[in-house]
Chain A
């Protein structure tokens, strides 16, 4: 790994790690009596070995000029592995949380394992750990190939990848110690947030610097989506996390916003995290790996335009549908609801564009589980966006809000769409990245597909049932005109569905374990003698005579 860095980059890496270690030391000193101090030690414990690692490779020969004739894929490889580690961990914790709802004693009487702490461990691990790493890894892979330009340097992608995983680690370990901002999907405290901003800006700059040197006249759709993802997530993250720490020695901070403004800012953030992290980024993924795997052209460029601008414009408005019938003024709710409805058509145009792209390749969908992952993901994307618009309608929301229906909806999107498109893309890209003929076992891909699909369906149906029963029980009146059921009554009614949900989650988790094993074995097997698809890692000149990449790239 160090051998691919130039001498200057190796020096810079040592400097950056040294500064980080010093920051860690300062945190450990200032936060002696606080979880902040523990995070300081964590940073030191990670940075110091990395410094030694870089120093150990410092005198290895510098990379040859030939490197410039090939794309730089090492960070993508590491990102894929990191994503798979996070998903196995995150799904395990998720299923544990699900079983806690069935058997509350599964906290084992410890503070760190209580529901309120490990639920965000689950969400952060799967959304940011798995989803984020997969997005970084695939975006760098797609960016180079669709721009026919190499990444601008070797160090910055590593900085992004390692820095991002450091953020995830600080977040997850913080929750276990009770550190949280109590903002859903924005739980990490101020110091982790500042660090993520630095990492994210570097990520965005990699994108801009690579695109600026692209050899293609046009920017491919996948990159529109990846760019929207990076840019908007930066804006959301910065605004929602504006806060004042109690002191530089404390993890705790207080938000700039309060009351209903805080709620609105949080759900503007929250729903756009769904939009630009969990939708836009993964649409970028889909726009590259689905047509590549299917060997088909994108169905309609014009549909891509309508979908992209529809999604980016409309999503910004819809966050208030999380706050129907609250202290939020009704006019804001109206806008959230109507924009959610208008959002449906661009969303369906995206899903439709993906599915229609498969016309002429449906026989491959039948035979190839990897492509089937992506196809089913597009179907779930369509289902979930329809459901989302439906639930945003105020009277529907009156029933669905605060119930398990919301959980079912989120998981239809998270499992059915996000995870399936990611697994499909990873199964496509792993043989390309590691230069293997195919995955270690096609049958295991097939097994993973069916485990994931059945797990998702069991989960989602359980939560639909449970949510609607809950919603109805909470609004049923007896003839005296008072509520017919207590909250406990509804909880008792949920019990069988909680068992079903945890079982569905278990299947999904087992699928990911199978996937992890399969990817691991693919990496361990010997490379294919003849790499089948050379096109995917060496830039092909547009016309003969021009060199693929210029020196310095």
Chain B
């Protein structure tokens, strides 16, 4: 037998092997290692007895506690629905005209509507519902498709230019790209459109363009936007006389809109949100506007 080699620092014997200078000590495994190993094994054993654990061919051991994640989640959902039913049934049953007067229901609308809006609408309309380039501001300006609760709820249900069968459909023609108007007409009508919300333009250096544009507007635009440019909620045509713009109200933006046309898109939410959720969203949006400064 080889002479036993001991490590002077720890006093433990080596295993007697050496690999390129590396040796190993034959130190016994510290007791806590066995203790904790046994603890985790025992815990697992108990857990297997109590919970669904081992496959047995076509089935599995169900565990003494009889816990199953499917029934657990179903039960949790039922509980949550019951808690919410207190106000949910009221909102579902009440008319749009009644709910805003009920402070407790409006608290639900403000809390729940905020997260519903954040998760479903904010990506386009912004977290504060003020919109952004290409997406309407919901807190100000006139409504494209009507501002009654029923109209707003219907817009949410079917969407705009969406895949829904009853979708609201609107299109601003591409007057320039499709060669419906010469460039000079587009420049003139752009000046006129801008003067609708900014009367000072009509008396400024562009007064001539505005006057010429009035004619172009009367023959080409009034069918949708109306004689006075106030828009038409039947066709989703925006009011051009207010200062709220979806695609920008500066001259260049208006020119771009006239030249290339516009066709906004809003998805249908009928398949994705429950009638209750859509009702809460409708109330939430109208409440936002009511409270907007």
Contact = CB atoms under 8 A, between A and B. Distances in A.
A28 B180 CA distance: 48
B107 A484 contact: no
A552 B27 CA distance: 40
B3 interface: no
A305 to B, nearest CB: 9
A384 B21 CA distance: 31
B27 A300 contact: yes
Contact of A302 (B26, B40, B111, B112): B26
Nearest to B115: A486
Interface stretch (A258-266, A331-339, A543-551): A331-339
A329 interface: yes
Interface in B51-79: 51-55, 60-61, 67-69
Question: What is the size category of the interface that chain A forms with chain B?
Answer: 35 or more
B177 interface: no
B281 to A, nearest CB: 12
A472 B80 CA distance: 18
A300 B22 contact: no
A345 B37 CA distance: 6
Which of B14, B17, B21, B112 neighbours the largest number of chain A CB atoms within 10 Å of its CB? B21
Contact of A480 (B60, B84, B127): B84
Contact of A331 (B14, B27, B53): B53
A482 B84 contact: yes
Interface stretch (B41-49, B188-196, B224-232, B262-270): B41-49
A481 B84 contact: yes
Interface in A279-317: 288, 291-292, 296-304, 306, 310
A324 to B, nearest CB: 9
B68 A341 contact: no
A202 interface: no
Interface in A418-460: none
A16 B176 CA distance: 62
A146 B87 CA distance: 73
B53 A297 contact: no
A480 B43 CA distance: 39
B103 interface: no
B143 interface: no
B111 A482 contact: yes
A296 B127 CA distance: 61
B20 A217 contact: no
A524 interface: no
B53 A145 contact: no
A399 to B, nearest CB: 16
A447 to B, nearest CB: 29
A220 B47 contact: no
Contact of B54 (A331, A333, A484): A331
Given A300-B26, A536-B20, A335 B53 contact: yes
A341 B40 contact: yes
Nearest to B127: A488
B25 interface: yes
A482 B118 CA distance: 13
Interface in B4-39: 7, 9-10, 14-15, 17, 19-30, 33, 36-37
B182 to A, nearest CB: 34
B10 A486 contact: no
A53 interface: no
Given A291-B22, A301-B15, A344 B40 contact: yes
Given A220-B19, A330-B69, A480-B84, A299 B27 contact: yes
Question: What is the size category of the interface that chain B forms with chain A?
Answer: 35 or more
A301 B115 contact: no
A115 interface: no
Given A148-B20, A302-B29, A338 B47 contact: yes
B84 A303 contact: no
B119 interface: yes
A325 B69 contact: yes
Contacts of A298: 22-25
Given A299-B27, A331-B61, A482 B115 contact: yes
A85 interface: no
Interface in B100-116: 107-108, 111-112, 114-116
Contact of A299 (B25, B48, B116): B25
Given A329-B52, A488-B118, A297 B14 contact: yes
A145 B19 contact: yes
A360 interface: yes
Contacts of B52: 329-331, 334
B283 to A, nearest CB: 13
B83 interface: yes
B122 interface: yes
Contacts of B36: 344-345, 348
A338 B29 contact: no
A44 interface: no
B40 to A, nearest CB: 5
A414 B231 CA distance: 60
Nearest to B68: A330
A146 B20 contact: yes
Which of B25, B36, B60 neighbours the largest number of chain A CB atoms within 10 Å of its CB? B25
A479 B111 CA distance: 9
Nearest to B44: A338
B20 A535 contact: yes
A100 B26 CA distance: 52
Which of B9, B15, B17, B118 neighbours the largest number of chain A CB atoms within 10 Å of its CB? B118
Interface string B111-135: 1101111110010000100000000
Contacts of A344: 36, 40
Contacts of A540: 20
Contacts of A480: 84, 87, 107-108, 111-112
A344 B108 CA distance: 46
Contact of B7 (A297, A337, A487): A297
B87 A297 contact: no
Contacts of B55: 331
Contacts of A148: 20
A158 interface: no
Contact of B44 (A299, A342, A488): A342
Contacts of A310: 37
A520 B176 CA distance: 62
A325 B72 CA distance: 11
A112 interface: no
Nearest to A533: B21
A220 B17 CA distance: 9
A341 B37 CA distance: 10
B43 A481 contact: no
Which of A218, A345, A352 neighbours the largest number of chain B CB atoms within 10 Å of its CB? A345
B24 A288 contact: no
Contacts of B28: 300, 302
Interface of B: 7, 9-10, 14-15, 17, 19-30, 33, 36-37, 40-41, 43-44, 47-48, 51-55, 60-61, 67-69, 80, 83-84, 87, 107-108, 111-112, 114-119, 122, 127
Q: Which 5 A-B pairs have the closest CB atoms?
A: A486-B118, A360-B9, A300-B27, A338-B44, A297-B23
9 contacts: A220-B22, A297-B22, A301-B15, A301-B25, A306-B37, A331-B52, A341-B43, A485-B118, A486-B114
Given A342-B44, A485-B115, 20 more contacts: A216-B19, A218-B17, A292-B22, A299-B10, A299-B27, A306-B37, A329-B52, A334-B53, A342-B40, A344-B40, A480-B84, A480-B87, A480-B111, A481-B80, A482-B84, A482-B108, A482-B115, A485-B118, A486-B117, A535-B20
